[in-house]
A and B are shown apart, each in its own frame.
Chain A
Amino acid sequence: MSKNYYLPQGNEVELFDASASMNLPVLIKGPTGCGKTRFIEYMGERLNRKVYTVVCHDDLSAADLVGRHLINENGTFWQDGPLTKAVREGGICYLDEIIEARKDTTVVLHSLADYRRVLPIDRTGEVIEAHPDFMLVVSYNPGYQNVLKGMKPSTKQRFISLSFDYPKPDIERQVLVNESGVYEQTAQKLVDIASEIRQLDDTDIQEAVSTRLLIYAGKLIVKGFDPYQACMHTIVESLSDESDVLEVLEKLITLHFTKHDNA
Chain B
Amino acid sequence: MLHYWLEFEESMGKVWDKYLNKKVHKLHEEQRVYFEDISKPLHIFHRLMGGEKAKELRITDKRYVETSRTLLEKISFLGKEFFLTWQDDESVYIPASFAYFSTKEENEMLYYWLVAMAAQVENITNNNLIEKNQYAIDYLTKRYSGFDIFYKNATEYLMDKYEQLSFLKSLDEQSNQALIDDYPNPLWIYPRAITLSYANNIENEEEPTREEGKDKSEELQMKKQANQIDDKHETDGFLAFLPESLMSIFEQVNVDRLEDDSFDKDALYHAEDLDEITIGQKQANLSSRIKMDLELLQDTTVTYPLGKGHYLDEWDYKKNDYLVKYARILPQITMNVIPIELPQRLKKTVKKIQAELDILQLNRIKNDRLPYGDELNMDAWIEYMSHQNKSMHHQNFYTSYEKKTRDMSTLLLADISLSTEGGITQDIRIIDVIKDSLMVFSEALEKLEDKFAIYTFSSLQNKKVYFNIIKNFKDKYNALIRGRIESIKPQYYTRMGTAIRESIDILDRQQSSNKLLLVISDGKPNDEDRYDGRYGIEDTKKALQEAKKKGITPFCITIDLDAKEYLNYLFGSNGYAIVRDGQKLPKVLTEVYINLTK
Contact = CB atoms under 8 A, between A and B. Distances in A.
Contact of B149 (A202, A252, A258): A258
B50 interface: yes
A60 to B, nearest CB: 12
Contact of A257 (B41, B145, B385, B597): B145
A69 B45 contact: no
Contacts of A2: none
A258 to B, nearest CB: 6
B383 A197 contact: no
B382 A248 contact: no
B580 A248 contact: no
B53 interface: yes
B146 interface: yes
B382 A255 contact: no
Interface in B13-54: 40-41, 44-45, 47-50, 53
B206 to A, nearest CB: 44
A71 to B, nearest CB: 6
Contacts of A68: 379, 382-383
* Interface size bracket, A side: 35 or more
A163 B53 CA distance: 26
Contacts of B50: 196, 199
A101 to B, nearest CB: 14
A60 B244 CA distance: 82
A244 B41 contact: yes
Contact of B41 (A78, A248, A258): A248
B366 interface: yes
Contacts of B48: 196-197, 199-200, 248, 252
A244 B596 contact: no
Given A146-B598, A252-B48, A258-B146, A203 B385 contact: no
Contacts of B596: 145-148
A69 B383 contact: yes
A12 interface: no
Interface majority SS on A: helix, strand, loop or mixed? Answer: mixed
Interface in B549-586: 553, 555, 574, 577-580
Contacts of A201: 47, 53
A56 to B, nearest CB: 15
B379 A251 contact: no
Given A70-B382, A75-B386, A147-B516, 19 more contacts: A59-B366, A61-B379, A71-B382, A144-B595, A146-B596, A147-B596, A148-B408, A148-B597, A199-B47, A199-B49, A200-B47, A201-B47, A201-B53, A203-B577, A204-B47, A248-B44, A248-B48, A251-B41, A257-B145
Interface of B: 40-41, 44-45, 47-50, 53, 112, 143-147, 149, 366, 379, 382-383, 385-386, 408, 514, 516, 553, 555, 574, 577-580, 595-598
B514 A147 contact: yes
A47 interface: no
A61 B366 CA distance: 12
Nearest to A144: B595
Interface in A232-263: 244-245, 247-248, 251-252, 254-258
Nearest to A257: B145
A75 B382 CA distance: 9
A11 interface: no
B145 A251 contact: no
B385 A75 contact: yes
Contacts of B577: 202-203
A204 B44 contact: yes
A123 interface: yes
A248 B598 CA distance: 30
Contacts of A258: 145-146, 149
A76 B47 contact: no
Given A146-B596, A146-B598, A255-B147, A248 B383 contact: no
11 contacts: A200-B44, A200-B48, A203-B578, A248-B44, A248-B45, A251-B45, A252-B48, A254-B146, A255-B145, A257-B145, A258-B145
A71 B41 contact: no
A177 to B, nearest CB: 19
A99 to B, nearest CB: 12
A258 B112 CA distance: 15
Interface in A122-151: 123, 142, 144-148
